[in-house]
Amino acid sequence: MSLVNLRGRVAWIFEEDDYDIDLIIGVRNIKITDVKELAGLAMSDYVPDFASTVHPGDMLIGGHNFGYGHPHYPAMRAMRHLGISCVIAESFSPGFFRGEMSMGFPLVTCPGIRAAVTRGDALEVNWDTDAVCNVRTGQKLPLQPFSASERGMLDAGGLIPYLKARIARANDARAPVG
């Protein structure tokens, strides 16, 4: 399994820097574990019926230091359930970045993205050229490439399958030949 290029529309643009992602489902809902319920609550403090506007593959756009605070997992669980394929932001808060990448969920750092898109634009994320393209405007922006282990995690679909594959490879390498 390998990471495939992404194509989807901009489902939402979070304009503010240091955005606290817990606000996506509302802090009062943070202890809910049922993903369907969480998905139904996503963005309900911003817009009615967000869920019905999302198509599989859609993307979220963020500002600088997206995910600052004490990020919890329910917000992005809800977004993935709705079909959101990635978040593209000016930059990410490290704790949020590590947590979600380990779920195999791409967090794409792309300086300039916030000003380059409007809600509803179709975007393409190309991992071969490390670029994000706005299909409507034709504008291409470079994305910050992932480190080898980050890319490995995304290719494998998360930290656990990535570690399993790595350990298996190490064991194979140690196995006697023939």
- Which residues sit at the interface with other proteins, rule CB under 8 A? 17-18, 20, 22, 26-28, 30, 64-65, 68-70, 73, 91-95, 98-99, 102, 147-149, 159-160, 163-164, 167
Whether the CB-CB separation of 114 and 15 falls below 8 Å is answered with yes
Measured in degrees and rounded to the nearest 5, phi and psi for residue 116 equal: -95, 0
Structure tokens at 81: 């359930």
Query: Nearest approach, Cβ of 66 to other proteins (angstroms)?
Result: 10
Q: How far is the CB of 133 from other proteins (least distance, A)?
A: 26
Is the CB of 32 or the CB of 122 nearer to other proteins? 32
Distance CA 140, CA 134 (A): 6
**Which residue number, 4 or 30, has a Cβ lying nearer to other proteins?**
30
- Closer CB to other proteins, 70 or 128, in the complex: 70
Q: How far is the CB of 1 from other proteins (least distance, A)?
A: 17
Q: Which of 109, 83, 81 is nearest to 94 (CA)?
A: 109
Q: Which of 101, 96, 104, 108 is nearest to 22 (CA)?
A: 96
Q: Are 39 and 85 in contact (CB under 8 A)?
A: no
Q: Which is nearer to other proteins, 83 or 99 (CB)?
A: 99
Provide, rounded to whole angstroms, the least separation between the CB of residue 101 and other proteins: 9
